[in-house]
Amino acid sequence: MLEGKIFNDYKEAMKNRDTLKSSALSFLRASLINAAIEKKKKNLDDNDCIAVIKKQIKQRQDSIEQFQRGNRQDLADKETKELEILKSYLPPELPLEELKKIIEEAVALTAAQDMKDMGKVMKEVTAKITGRADSKLVSDLVRERLSKTAP
């Protein structure tokens, strides 16, 4: 479903001569096609698409950082605009409070006691929030929560 929307939006951008959007979606389309080939699938499901989009977002963020260090604000601005286009295909982010609630439920469910149980908690949390929160933020919140329970 998401893959089809991206492909259709790419066609629209090409028809409308929106070079920035068509460029960003062209790279995304190529990554989606490569991911499908890699997984030996005809079409990717939404979770696979989200993973590819997040990878592209990470690449854009790294590029923006590099361009700003190299005093190339023009290129950084272009990457920032492409980043916004890519982010529009992700599901809305979970609010921080809801994220903390999910982490609490996962800690209770796994009976986590300390940092040794972080893997179990992360597995449980990740299954519930796929694509709706930054994994680094989730990891930091779980680490913070488990360090509170440590003796």
H-type alpha helices, 16-70: 19-38, 46-69
For 1, 7, 112, the CA distances from 43, given in Å and listed in that order, are 9, 12, 38
Identify the pLDDT of residue 63.
93
The residue-averaged pLDDT of 105-111 equals 86
The share of the chain scoring above pLDDT 90, in percent, equals 40
Which CATH number is 2-87's, of 1.10.340.30, 1.10.1510.10, 1.10.540.10, 3.30.2350.10?
Answer: 1.10.1510.10
Q: How confident is the model at residue 140 (pLDDT cuts 50, 70, 90)?
A: confident
Identify the pLDDT of residue 105.
87
Is the Cβ–Cβ distance between 85 and 22 less than 8 Å?
no
The residue-averaged pLDDT of 108-112 equals 85
Decide if pLDDT at 16 tops 90: yes
- What region does 3 belong to: left with phi over 0, alpha with psi -120 to 50, or beta? alpha
DSSP state of 113: -
Architecture of the domain delimited by 96-149: Orthogonal Bundle (1.10)
Identify the pLDDT of residue 45.
84
Q: Where are the domains of the chain?
A: 2-87, 96-149
Cα–chain center distance at 68:
22
CB atoms within 10 A of CB 48: 18
The residue to which tokens 């916004």 are assigned? 84
Decide if pLDDT at 39 tops 90: no
Its pTM stands at 0.69
Q: How confident is the model at residue 131 (pLDDT cuts 50, 70, 90)?
A: low
Q: How confident is the model at residue 29 (pLDDT cuts 50, 70, 90)?
A: very high
Q: How confident is the model at residue 150 (pLDDT cuts 50, 70, 90)?
A: low
Of 143 and 136, the structure prediction assigns the larger pLDDT to: 143
